[in-house]
Structure 1
Amino acid sequence: MAVDSGRERAPYALHPRESRGRRYPETESPARNVFRRDCDRIIHSAAFRRLKHKTQVFVVHEGDHYRTRLTHTLEVTQIARSLSRALGLDEDLAEALALAHDLGHPPFGHAGERALDEQLRPFGGFDHNAQSLRVVTELERRYAAFDGLNLTYETIEGLLKHNGPLTSPDGAPVERYAHGIPAPMATIADQYAIPLGTYGSAEAQAAAVADDIAYDAHDIDDGLRAELFTIDDLKTVPLLGDILAEIAQRHGNLDPPRQAHELVRRLITRMVEDVVSASNARLIETAPATPHAVRDVGKLLVGFSPAMQEADREIKGFLFPRMYRHERVMQVMLEATQVVSDLFVLLSREPSRMPEEWREGLETEAKTARRVGDFIAGMTDNFALTEHARFFDSTPDLR
């Protein structure tokens, strides 16, 4: 099936002229619509630039060819735009959501997140999705009239619901937040009057599934490059085995790098085509007449078919033990966790070691802990290691 290269705007697509606006009123640009302006603000933010030196799976100095948070974000953005174009959605809004979805990730990827969550557990914990929202609503301090980036309601809502509704329709937290919705998310939802029990816009759903597609594809590519597994190992995974058989039939014995690239690009194409086909079928069945109707349907509309959902689970099931829990990766992440924990304990005890602008308003233990968490979450891998080496006698090499 060929994906449509472009179609007219669908009735359920969000339109920039119908945006609910920004928390702080501004004179809008005559040259850019509100969603395009959100994209540009995100791209020009300090948090976005720092993604260049933040871990995806492999710490940044393990090699120049592995994905970082920035390259992952760009790949998600490309896929989100492709899906939105094929489904008649607003591409700029989908791009804004893809660009901002990982701004809250701390150094060293999920290892850094686990370390901060453990240290901040007495004060509400740490969640990178909640932190992304704090970055764009509070922590970026560049504008004269407000903190944050003052993004549109629709972008804030999409970031809040990147993983779907936060509660059931009756208000009970979903399984992901069974121990409670992170306080920043609840606060922001209240500030923007965002209902927690509904799905996000079709554009938000497109950005979320684009994240899944990018993860599967680039982690296979990086895992092969790191020699954590081989092409032959991937033949045991149903969808990947089918694609590799197609490649062998069409091209014979390709060298491993070409074989890997051909596998990744075909996997992305297969998944994008599946999302477009399955989403179109759901949209035709439910026939939402407006963007607001998408939220009221009560189920995911833009996403994989059941068969591709199963294939996605199989791929992640393969990658989890072979890559994310590989002994080599785990050793590096264990050491990275210690770096983050060491920094948190030291700076909480001696906040005077932080830059002056980070030492304001530390009246309570809770405020100090959260400020230290914010400071560390904004660090790149390299800066975290440099700071650790400045304060401690022994800093791991992380290789």
Structure 2
Amino acid sequence: MAEWAGSGPRAPWASDPARSRGRRHAEPPPGDRSEFQRDRDRIVHATAFRRLVYKTQVFVNHEGDLFRTRLTHSLELAQLGRSIARRLGLDEDLVEAIALAHDLGHTPFGHAGQDALDACLRAVEPEGGGFEHNLQSLRVVDRLEERYAAFDGLNLSFETREGILKHCARAAAERLEAAEPGGVAARFLRPSGQPPGPPSLEAQLANLADEIAYNAHDVDDGVRSGLLTIEQLEAVPLFAAPLAEVRAVHPQLGGRRLLSETLRRMLSAQVQDVVLATAQALREAGRRLGRPPDAQALRAAGPLLRFSPAMREASTGLKRFLFARLYRHPQVEATTERARAVVRVLFEAYLNDPPASVRQRRDDSSLPRQVADHVSGMTDRYATREYQRITGREAFPAERPEAGPSAG
């Protein structure tokens, strides 16, 4: 890649915090921090960020202390994203800020909670857009955090907010665009039939690193839980190849060490593939432009952060395996259905009798939307306690014991 020698200082195509598109509310410069470092620091101190420690990734909080939560996932994603960003010359702080904020709007109980809350909202407000965690993450940082005297939310930079909003239906994008013309939703409003315009390379990286991170730790948690086995995973090429490498070097290795060594190699292979495939895409973009591409020029080049075709196929194969063998496992589905029931009960109860935190809010949103804000902000254990208080019943009466010593 011309005019850039590899790992080290920012490359020409990186987002430049000194040229940020700014914040919704003007503020003095951040002093000895960059604009993206300021974003990261604000996210880490946010109430919604602290709550992620008790929010489900796949396994509900009561099922064991060793499984990933939204917080540990976000930290793993931030580390992985920074590592790749350094090798590609991207702005590490922006990648980290996006990674740490991307799940702030997630409900308790993971995707089960999201699906239930979406159905609840659509039932009472058919035109309201339902519930989607990417939009809610943006709502958290734009409106719901209450830390500053001069504005609602965290007042993050455009680039961080754009990275948080990685998906957006057209109707939702139109509502956001009406409130913020030319803002973070504008790229989703291209003419019919055209895909959304790409965000920054840092946002593309956070999105792809998210996939890499959750595939790896869902394998780890799936084996730890006893719902997946190494033998089953041998049928998955992305896992089988590094497993064979580990066994060739350490033929006596087993248990947690075998799994950890395999996952470490699986992650390394994906990181290396992303770096090489993206570097090639950047070289091709540079040849088309006749110069090293800058961050703005690349917006017209389409998504460039990528796997090679072979690695994309392998990653898709692992996702299919996890969907069939883990996410659709009867034990996971049983917990998922109970989680949906908890969210439905809470939403209906609060809609009929709003809690004080909802009644006291100064917000022009509808009551159902404010109730959804309240429910989505709850941790797994708080939602479980509230369900028991309201119904007199346990939310998860048939608890599975934690993973035993043999699992790590």
TM-score, normalised via structure 2 length: 0.88
**Counterparts in 2 of 1:183 and 1:103: CA distance versus 1, 3 Å:** farther
**Counterparts in 2 of 1:59 and 1:182: CA distance versus 1, 3 Å:** farther
Amino acid at match of 1:271: Q
Q: Tell me the distance in 2 between the aligned counterparts of 1:187 and 1:52.
A: 34
The residue number in structure 2 matching 1:170 is none
Q: Tell me the distance in 2 between the aligned counterparts of 1:48 and 1:295.
A: 30
**Counterparts in 2 of 1:72 and 1:188: CA distance versus 1, 3 Å:** farther
Q: Does the 8 A contact of 1:358 with 1:375 survive in 2?
A: no
The residue number in structure 1 matching 2:289 is none
The residue number in structure 1 matching 2:150 is 145
Q: Tell me the distance in 2 between the aligned counterparts of 1:260 and 1:282.
A: 33
1:21 Cα offset (Å): 1.3
**Runs of 4+ that moved beyond 6 A:** none
Q: Which among 306, 309, 317 is matched to residue 306 of structure 1? A: 309
In the TM superposition, what whole-angstrom CA distance separates every residue of 1:304-359 from its partner, at most 9, and x where no partner exists?
111111001100111111110100011011001100000101111122xx124544
Q: Tell me the distance in 1 between the aligned counterparts of 2:359 and 2:88.
A: 44
Q: Does the 8 A contact of 1:124 with 1:183 survive in 2?
A: no
Amino acid at match of 2:303: L
1:195 aligns with 2:205: no
1:296 aligns with 2:287: no
**Counterparts in 2 of 1:282 and 1:270: CA distance versus 1, 3 Å:** same
The residue number in structure 1 matching 2:332 is 329
Secondary structure of the 2:12 match is coil
**Counterparts in 2 of 1:322 and 1:269: CA distance versus 1, 3 Å:** same
The residue number in structure 1 matching 2:377 is 378
Q: Does the 8 A contact of 1:6 with 1:88 survive in 2?
A: yes
1:195 Cα offset (Å): 3.0
Amino acid at match of 2:297: A
The residue number in structure 2 matching 1:269 is 268
Q: Does the 8 A contact of 2:60 with 2:109 survive in 1?
A: yes
The residue number in structure 1 matching 2:25 is 24
The residue number in structure 2 matching 1:229 is 228
1:376 Cα offset (Å): 0.2
Secondary structure of the 1:79 match is helix
Q: Which among 346, 349, 352 is matched to residue 349 of structure 1? A: 352
Q: Does the 8 A contact of 2:358 with 2:371 survive in 1?
A: no
The residue number in structure 2 matching 1:238 is 237
1:126 aligns with 2:131: yes
**Counterparts in 2 of 1:357 and 1:275: CA distance versus 1, 3 Å:** same
Secondary structure of the 2:231 match is helix
For these two proteins, the number of residue pairs brought into alignment is 377
Q: Tell me the distance in 1 between the aligned counterparts of 2:51 and 2:221.
A: 21
**Counterparts in 2 of 1:8 and 1:362: CA distance versus 1, 3 Å:** closer
1:8 Cα offset (Å): 2.8
Q: Tell me the distance in 2 between the aligned counterparts of 1:187 and 1:240.
A: 46
Which consecutive residues of structure 1, in runs of 5 or more, have no partner in the other structure? 167-176
Q: How does 1:140-179 map to 2 (within 5 A)?
A: 140-160=145-165, 162-163=166-167, 177=169
Which consecutive residues of structure 2, in runs of 5 or more, have no partner in the other structure? 189-195, 287-291, 400-408
TM-score, normalised via structure 1 length: 0.90
Aligned-pair RMSD on alpha carbons? 1.9
1:303 Cα offset (Å): 1.7
Q: Does the 8 A contact of 2:98 with 2:164 survive in 1?
A: yes
The residue number in structure 2 matching 1:171 is none
Secondary structure of the 1:94 match is helix
Q: Tell me the distance in 2 between the aligned counterparts of 1:239 and 1:105.
A: 28
